[in-house]
Amino acid sequence: MEKKGISKAVLKRLPCYLNYLRGIPDTASPYISATSLANALGMGEVQVRKDLASVSNGGRPKVGYERERLILDIERFLGYDNTNHAVLVGAGKLGLALLGYGGFASYGLDILAAFDIKPSVDRAESGQPVLPMDQLKTFCRRHKICMGILTVPANQAQQACERLIESGIRAIWNFAPVHLEVPDHILVQNENMATSLAVLSMHLQAQMKDEG
């Protein structure tokens, strides 16, 4: 399967398919067609058919896909089958919350430790150590960590980002609402909650104006 050139829209739909497929009880038919998947999710049949064909070659006319195989194909495509070890920088409320959130495991993410300038606890409730920043580099190099999660305040984000890159991190999941300057080979994925809130808030304001 060719991964280059896959659109972000497809990437957004694949986890939806995966979730639905994982939720089908074992007692159901071991096969599923693009049509029934499309109907169940209220999505266009042509689109679903095309998406599935781009990640799995297990589809058969009239029969559909073998469910278990399709799940594996999507997981492999999304990289959920290789566990990604990560560190988290910024053990404030959001950071500790993400650390304690068990849901990432099913996406292949394992957060091994958190780091903070001034750790207020030495272990998260979920068991991972919370270490001082000066141990970041050694820890990342020893554990060959490539992914960093950034949950520091906006004004500390650039500096923390640079510490992560010095430590060998190549992909950064950024929860700080700020633009990060990074070299070309580093990927930053922004989780911009501030933008989401602005979109929601604007929708509500526009509705109130219409009403009145």
Binding site for its own copies (CB under 8 A): 3, 8, 11-16, 18-20, 23, 41-43, 78-80, 82, 84, 93-94, 96-98, 100-104, 107-109, 146-147, 154-155, 170-171, 173, 177-179, 181, 185, 187, 189-207
Rounded least distance, CB 9 to its own copies, Å: 10
User: Please, which residue, 63 or 198, has the CB nearer to its own copies?
Assistant: 198
User: Please, which residue, 138 or 196, has the CB nearer to its own copies?
Assistant: 196
Rounded least distance, CB 134 to its own copies, Å: 25
Work out whether the CA dihedral 123, 187, 10, 57 comes out positive or negative: negative
Rounded least distance, CB 35 to its own copies, Å: 16
User: Please, which residue, 87 or 96, has the CB nearer to its own copies?
Assistant: 96
Q: Tokens standing for 35?
A: 């049509």
- Rounded Cα–Cα distance for residues 61 and 186 (Å): 42
Of 186, 162, 157, nearest in space to 174 by CA: 157
Angle at 171 between CA 96 and CA 10, to 5 degrees: 100
Rounded least distance, CB 68 to its own copies, Å: 18
The beta-strand segments (E) located in the chain are 31-32, 65-66, 84-89, 109-116, 130-132, 147-150, 171-174, 187-190
Of 90, 93, 94, 98, nearest in space to 156 by CA: 90
User: Please, which residue, 50 or 60, has the CB nearer to its own copies?
Assistant: 50
- Rounded Cα–Cα distance for residues 194 and 212 (Å): 27
Angle at 54 between CA 48 and CA 57, to 5 degrees: 105
User: Please, which residue, 61 or 102, has the CB nearer to its own copies?
Assistant: 102
Rounded least distance, CB 60 to its own copies, Å: 26
Rounded least distance, CB 74 to its own copies, Å: 10
User: Please, which residue, 68 or 81, has the CB nearer to its own copies?
Assistant: 81
